[in-house]
């Protein structure tokens, strides 16, 4: 018994050994030798951390009307307001709201909508892709035809259609409370087809392999086989698509909010801040539009570049 325990102890890798293996892996080597990936990852972490810690970093609660002073309105970047003598690093808007604080809180809303909608798309698309690729037949034909129909329309149009239908079904008294959740489902429904088609193709390859056939002979249920054996082997492409779609979801949320059908004004996101700022583009208050737009570009570009690197790193043909 002591010898068996000693062998088990020696064979089990320690945390340091696992960390060393991860550091020497192909993905880690590719990351260390890609300056674009390093900069994109650093920028993504900085923006994500700043938005999550907005309560501690932001000098002002951007969503608290009691913290605003109309005498501080239209304060230029780096100058002090007339009402509070507070220095606004990025200036203030028409309500005297600190733009730096508004961007931090708005980035949090945009990231929440982006992550939640991507998670919804992944769950729906991967589930339908597994069922379609494993079962085949009429089920496969029906799911893929629905996916083909949806892919023939722009994602923003699908989101607008669902958002309009949802606002007609939900009582007007609950529109503002449910706006973010409706937006998440709308963006998620507009992007599930990409995951379904990718997972379906990988599942059709995996279902004919020996380990799946052996599990089928052992009497395992199709649900167990799909979840236990097929799903772990199709997560690579899904991770790449999800990373790239996160940037697209953030831009889609900003587009819908810019059009006035997204996040309500009481919970502004980057898109809402840009919609408000574009009214002052030609009136001299250029900072009200510039800094939220620049934040959106940096956030989307960093995540997109990180997704492009991950796609190349997971592709064995490019190693």
How is 214-242 classified by DSSP, letter by letter? HHHHTT--HHHHIIIIIGGGSHHHHHHHH
pLDDT digits (tens, 9 = 90+) for 166-210: 777 777 766 677 778 888 888 888 888 888 888 888 888 777 777
pLDDT at position 9 is: 47
pLDDT at position 306 is: 85
pLDDT at position 75 is: 79
Quote helix, strand, coil % in the chain, to nearest 5: 75, 0, 25
pLDDT at position 159 is: 82
Low-confidence ranges of the chain (pLDDT < 70): 1-13, 15-26, 173-175, 315-319
- Beta-bridge partners for 79: 88
The two tokens of residue 134 are 């494993």
pLDDT digits (tens, 9 = 90+) for 142-175: 888 888 888 888 888 888 888 778 777 777 766 6
CA 185 to chain centre: 13
**Phi and psi torsions of 75, nearest 5°:** -75, 130
pLDDT at position 120 is: 92
Place of tokens 């043909």: 317
- CA–CA separation, 107 vs 31, rounded Å? 26
CA 303 to chain centre: 9
Of 50, 190, 187, 180, the C-alpha closest to 109 is 180
Q: How many CA atoms lie less than 13 Å away from 74 in the CB half-sphere? A: 7
The two tokens of residue 285 are 């208050």
- CA–CA separation, 311 vs 226, rounded Å? 24
pLDDT at position 13 is: 67
Q: How many other β-carbons are positioned within 10 Å of the β-carbon of residue 296?
A: 24
């Amino acid at each position: 018994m002591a010898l068996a325990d000693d062998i088990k102890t020696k064979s089990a890798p320690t945390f340091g050994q696992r960390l060393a293996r991860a550091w020497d892996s192909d993905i880690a080597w590719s990351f260390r030798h890609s300056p674009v990936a390093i900069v994109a990852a650093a920028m993504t972490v900085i923006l994500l951390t700043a938005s999550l810690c907005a309560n501690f970093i932001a000098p002002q609660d951007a969503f608290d009307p009691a913290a605003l002073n109309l005498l501080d309105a239209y304060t230029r970047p780096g100058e002090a307001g007339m009402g509070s003598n507070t220095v606004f690093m990025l200036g203030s808007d028409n309500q005297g709201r600190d733009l730096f604080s508004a961007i931090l809180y708005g980035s949090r809303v945009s990231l929440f909508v982006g992550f939640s909608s991507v998670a919804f798309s992944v769950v729906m698309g991967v589930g339908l892709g597994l069922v379609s690729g494993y079962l085949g037949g009429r089920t496969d034909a029906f799911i893929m035809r629905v996916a083909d129909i949806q892919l023939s329309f722009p994602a923003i149009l699908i989101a607008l259609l669902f958002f309009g239908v949802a606002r007609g079904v939900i009582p007007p008294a609950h529109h503002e409370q449910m706006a973010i959740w409706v937006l998440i489902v709308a963006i998620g429904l507009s992007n599930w087809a990409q995951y379904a088609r990718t997972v379906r193709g990988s599942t059709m390859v995996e279902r004919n392999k020996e380990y799946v056939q052996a599990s089928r002979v052992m009497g395992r249920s199709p649900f167990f086989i799909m979840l236990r054996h097929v799903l772990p082997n199709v997560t690579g492409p899904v991770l790449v698509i999800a990373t790239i779609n996160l940037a697209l979801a953030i831009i889609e949320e900003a587009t819908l909010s810019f059009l006035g059908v997204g996040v309500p004004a009481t919970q502004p996101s980057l898109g809402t801040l840009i919609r408000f700022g574009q009214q002052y583009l030609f009136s001299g208050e250029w900072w009200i539009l510039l800094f939220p737009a620049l934040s959106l570009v940096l956030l989307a570009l960093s995540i997109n570049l990180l997704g492009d690197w991950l796609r190349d790193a997971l592709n064995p043909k490019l190693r």
